[in-house]
A and B are shown apart, each in its own frame.
Chain A
Amino acid sequence: MRNEIAYPKIVKIKKTKREAKNIKTILFEYDGKNITPGQFLMIWIPGLDEIPMSISYINNKEIGFTFRKVGEATTALYNLKKGNKIGFRGPYGNGFTIKGKNILVVGGGTGIATLAPLIEKILSIKNKKLTAIFGAKTKDEMFFTRRFRGINLKISTDDGSIGFKGMASELTEKIIKEENFDQVITCGPEKMMKKIVDICNLYKIPVQASLERYIKCGIGLCGQCCIGEGLRVCKDGPVFEGDVLNKISEFGYFKRDASGKKIKI
């Protein structure tokens, strides 16, 4: 049940960090002990916009989110400095569910940020084996490669400037052929996630993917982010199991714009 009202809490930015080209992290004080990796916040940039952001750092003193400068709102966030005020509400959504012993995590682009707290959580649990694949377009856009200890990390770039040359999904298939995984968890561009879910279907591995849709209310009311049979990405998701995604015909093919019109992915 809800324990807090959907009202933006105002916080001062404690720290900003440049992670890669056009990619930054904003951190602020908050006890993250009740946050599940994969959950998101609605970040209010007063006077401009309010946008959903996956939580990329979670501990009991501070939390943060990592984003790429792409539009007006993220550019404004990119230019904010220590001491500036933002609002946030949440955490919202379901988050990831860790299953089995041998886990493969696949992140593409800023999807890596969503998976980072999950990776830390898996690493903190005894008797788990973790392999991660981080994919980016090019070396300059790769981040978080030195953040984790005791992780089997594989890197792919579309242009081969670092690591495996090719798509993260190609590297995923290669690795899945060589090793038996109990679970695959992915976040990144939807076309990539669709390929990974298809690969997991083929090899019969349970898979979870974290989806992105245009989110307005963030609390499961307005219907803007609904997929399939009324599944609200903001509340029933953003993380969905492979067997649910298999029934959603638009997964990997189309999303809806702010007006609710279908647009191709």
Chain B
Amino acid sequence: MNRLIDTSTKISSLILKNPFILASGIMDEDAGSMIRIAKNGAAAIVTKSIGVKPREGYANPTIVEVDCGIINSMGLPNPGIDAYMEEIESIKKKTSVPIIGSIFGKDEKEFCLLAKKMETYGVDAIELNLSCPHAKGYGLEIGSNPKKVENIASKVKSSVNIPIFAKLSPNVTDIVEIAKSAKKGGADAITAINSVKAMKIDIEIGLPVLSNKIGGYSGKAIKPIGIRCVYEISKNVDIPVIGVGGILTAEDAIEYLMAGASAVQIGSAVYYRDVNIFDKLDNELKGWMKKYGYKKLSELIGLAHKKQRKVII
């Protein structure tokens, strides 16, 4: 019986009923969408990345599907932190699923202001967007600098009482170094990875398809990159890791768990397998665990590291 299989997990003080969290940027701009995702079994929801002021994002095309994935360059559209109060308050009335407020700022002052407001609105944790690959002056432009990452993490940590997660980009020479800086600053967990910088040119028109030209690649193609990053971070940095990047099936999630992730995030797969993917993944995960004789999720977390040690002995 699948009921005997325990897929619950924990990230800092957040207790999750299963390891499947909605990734930032997917159906999470308004309360209604997030309530629908919660009803479909997500263990937690990361909001759209919210900034200080309303931002329209880039002109369309903002998304293009390519082989084995999707390239997007939305450009951080969001209604601004003040208008977002209404969304968080109404979602909080309708669901007990933890809400993780994703925020982006140009410096530590903006990050602190956003984090404080998110905490007041009632979110359960903060995710620092230090990795958006396509917005000038934000995201990756800050998140590729270890000193800035440490500074932002430490200032935000001291201004709120909820856990903070640092979402990192694979578009750096050494993601472990950045993860160490985030931990040093006080981050309670690392989310890895954000989408991978990419471009698609239409050869008949002779132009990049996305209006911003460069976007972030997500979906199946980036999973091996995410697995490598999560493996390296969890081996070297002693805080929980949330794995994200190309998870379409429970097997994909298991690979992330074995690489050291304590939970995972689901984004593009909402397109490939639709909104009810969360319940589907949890059932698939339980089925797989039963088949292979696992009872608790904790048995899978970091297994690839443990096995390696066994072989050496």
Contact = CB atoms under 8 A, between A and B. Distances in A.
Given A7-B64, A217-B63, A260 B74 contact: no
Interface in A45-94: 46-51, 85, 87
Contacts of A231: 32, 36
Contact of B62 (A7, A216, A260): A216
B15 interface: no
A186 interface: no
B32 A51 contact: no
Interface string A230-247: 111000000000000000
Contacts of A223: 26-30, 33, 48
A206 B27 CA distance: 29
Contacts of A230: 27, 32-37, 275
A261 interface: yes
A47 B274 CA distance: 31
Contacts of A259: 54-57, 77-80
Interface residues of A, number: 38
Nearest to B63: A217
B161 interface: no
Chain B contact patch, size range: 35 or more
Contacts of B275: 220, 230
A125 interface: no
A87 B202 contact: yes
Contacts, number: 133
Interface of B is mostly: loop
A221 B271 contact: yes
B63 A222 contact: yes
A217 B48 contact: no
Contacts of B65: 5-7, 219
26 contacts: A5-B65, A6-B70, A8-B209, A46-B207, A48-B59, A50-B60, A87-B202, A87-B205, A216-B57, A220-B270, A221-B70, A221-B270, A222-B25, A222-B74, A223-B30, A223-B48, A226-B32, A227-B32, A230-B27, A230-B37, A230-B275, A256-B30, A259-B56, A260-B48, A261-B83, A262-B83
Closest 5 CB pairs of A and B: A230-B36, A50-B60, A258-B56, A6-B65, A230-B33
Interface of B: 25-30, 32-37, 39, 48, 54-57, 59-66, 70, 72, 74, 77-80, 83, 202, 204-205, 207, 209, 211, 267-268, 270-271, 274-275
